[in-house]
Chain A
Amino acid sequence: MTTPETQADISAEIDKIKADAEGLAKEGKPSRQPLLDYPPYRSSALRHPTKDPRHADPETIELWSPCFGHSDVNPLEADLTIGVDSSWNTQFTGEPIGERITVSGRVLDGEGRPVRNQLVEIWQANSAGRYIHKHEQHPAPLDPNFTGVGRCLTDDEGRYRFQTIKPGPYPWGNHLNAWRPAHIHFSLFGRAFTQRLITQMYFPGDPLFALDPIYQSITDQKARDALVATYDHDLSVPEYSMGYNWDIVLTGPSRTWTEPEENDK
């Protein structure tokens, strides 16, 4: 058996790629997306395409997005501290352990227009850094009052809002002593199929940022910053929860913008 790689090994690789990318960025436009071929994230080795994507002019179906509505999402699903399951039954008898937070922001398209009435899905670890997923092996405690799954629809201003608890960082098997910074997974639908996005929201000032090969797979600092929420005191609820704001911008071609009066059914 080979000696497990250390954080120092991974960090050296991260720094090397960063230096190369900064050189490239000086010559042109820095990439805002993660590198799909990013060796420090070991699982990417056999799972990234080796060929560049081919250009396609989007056709009709690709310029529209699936439609979700109130038959799909119960407003209670936005509160992860009460635990509504897929049949919309409340599952918990008590409150989850952890720092209560409100996470809110706007979903916008590439021109800054709100993405209205669209589905937002989130999932996250509990405050001890444990997911309820059956393959999760981190021996941190499960919380019987927290599943870490939420959904909501954006409002007319493109705003979403979740009530939850702050997830903990957790160890993973990429290398020896690998820890993921605390994050919430977000799944978003835009105004077109081409805008579909799954990403992760981080918390400000996390000391693990520099060490994490997933976060660092985005080589441009400004783009990485776009995944970090800001503490927002106006979102904090007196005597109850801390507030974080995080706006999401979806890009990709979509059909011509029409006013909501014409667009909405």
Chain B
Amino acid sequence: MSNPLPTPGHTIGPFFGYALPYEGDADLVPSARPDAIRLHGTIYDGAGRPIPDALLEIWQTDAEGNVPQAEGSLHRDGWTFTGFGRAACDLNGHYSFTTVLPGPTEEGTAPFFALTVFARGLLDKLQTRIYLPEHPANAGDPLLVSLSEDERATLVATADATGLRFDIHLQGDRETTFLNYG
């Protein structure tokens, strides 16, 4: 029997705001936790304007590099790390997660946040990775080494006072490098 054909994606449209965001969606850990960081940034269109109707999701290992398989992302108890977060951008195109730095799944590999981008005007999801700045394992990461310096720069966050900043550009000189896994 042949495999079933995949269901196509479609744009998230403009009206997800009352449906997909939920209380605590972007807070993978409480901000009072000692190792909590903020991962934030702005998403821009090809004219350099912020996109106010985008929805971002991250999925990550815990600080020790374990893949979380605990439920509870939709009703967070403040103690269980589920690894999943969702953030709707505000009217300035800004998003903000409260989380911890992901650990490497294997010794010597580069940790990253897996990122999915949805937006009105974007006909299907986009996926990519957010790498940690100046992480020693970045130099040997198979994806990062396959990219040009400019492309690589679009996938590495920058450190700021509260954690990490990562801007997303759907088009333009600094167009973010997006990935396919096929």
Contact = CB atoms under 8 A, between A and B. Distances in A.
Interface of A: 32-36, 38, 41, 43-51, 53-62, 64-73, 86, 108, 110-112, 119, 121-123, 125, 131-136, 147-149, 151, 185, 187, 193-194, 196-200, 214, 217-218, 222-224, 226-227, 247-253, 265
A185 B8 contact: no
Nearest to A213: B123
A67 B70 contact: yes
Given A34-B8, A44-B122, A48-B122, A56 B3 contact: no
Contacts of A185: 10, 12-13, 15-16, 19
Given A72-B74, A121-B19, A199-B8, A64 B171 contact: no
Interface string B104-137: 0110010010101011111111110100000000
Interface string B17-31: 111101100000000
B78 interface: no
B120 A43 contact: yes
B96 interface: no
A59 B111 CA distance: 10
B140 interface: no
16 contacts: A33-B9, A44-B122, A46-B47, A47-B170, A49-B178, A53-B126, A54-B180, A55-B181, A56-B179, A66-B84, A67-B82, A112-B3, A122-B19, A123-B18, A249-B4, A249-B7
B3 A123 contact: no
A149 B151 contact: no
A226 B114 contact: no
Q: Select the residue from B12, B15, B67, B82 with max chain A CB neighbours within 10 A.
A: B15
B47 to A, nearest CB: 5
Given A44-B121, A61-B102, A253 B182 contact: yes
A67 B68 contact: yes
Chain B interface, DSSP helix/strand/loop, else mixed: loop
Contact of A47 (B46, B59, B109): B46
A147 B25 CA distance: 20
A38 B83 contact: no
Nearest to A38: B123
A204 to B, nearest CB: 16
Contacts of A44: 121-123
Contacts of A123: 15-16, 18-20
Interface footprint category on B: 35 or more
B61 interface: yes
Contact of B118 (A46, A198, A249): A198
A47 B89 CA distance: 15
**Which has the most chain B C-beta neighbours within 10 Å: A112, A122, A123, A214?**
A123
By CB atoms of chain B within 10 A, which of A58, A199, A214 has the most?
A: A199
Given A33-B8, A54-B147, A59 B109 contact: yes
Contacts of B71: 67-72
B127 A86 contact: no
A71 B72 contact: yes
A129 B70 CA distance: 38
Contacts of A197: 7, 9, 125
Contact of B74 (A68, A108, A196): A68
A67 B69 contact: yes
Contacts of B102: 61
Given A33-B124, A67-B70, A110-B6, A49 B171 contact: yes
B5 A249 contact: yes
A41 B13 CA distance: 11
Given A110-B6, A122-B19, A227-B10, 12 more contacts: A47-B170, A48-B123, A49-B170, A49-B176, A54-B147, A56-B179, A56-B180, A71-B71, A131-B18, A196-B116, A218-B8, A265-B69
A133 B70 CA distance: 31
